[in-house]
Amino acid sequence: MNAVVKEIRREGQAAIVAAQGEIDLRRSPDFHKALVELCAERPKLLVIHLGEVTYMDSSGVGTMVEIFRRTKEYGGRMVLVAPTERVRSVFEITKLDRFFTIKDSEAEALDGDGGSA
């Protein structure tokens, strides 16, 4: 499984990215490129679904931090959805769970902020 980005879809003013597999040093550049291109479109809400991501190393975390910064710069929001326990622990260990908005479902992420407009 090489493709980290399983799908990108739009729902109202939100862009939803479904990721899968391992986000590691080898696959992170493609993931980064897809997210940077999406940020260029300036979606009001960027939802990154992590439910099928089995592993994330520091390169994946670095990508998340950069994309978070980019969305804030243009006035958008980024929400992470349904990270697996293993991936969630990476955010907890690095204390980034305090900065990222993490929701259990896409519906929760879209509720009242950018999902429809």
Q: What is the CATH number of the domain that holds 15?
A: 3.30.750.24
Confidence of residue 1 (pLDDT cuts 50, 70, 90): very low
The Cα angle at residue 98 between residues 68 and 37, in degrees rounded to 5: 10
Rounded Cα distance, 32 and 40, in Å: 12
Rounded Cα distance, 106 and 47, in Å: 8
Within-domain flag for 117: no
Q: What is the pLDDT averaged over residues 29-49? A: 97
pLDDT at 112: 59
Asked if the model's pLDDT at residue 115 lies above 90, the reply is no
Asked if the model's pLDDT at residue 117 lies above 60, the reply is no
Within-domain flag for 9: yes
Rounded Cα distance, 47 and 50, in Å: 10
Rounded Cα distance, 4 and 64, in Å: 14
pLDDT above 70 coverage of the chain, percent: 93
Q: What is the pLDDT averaged over residues 57-66? A: 96
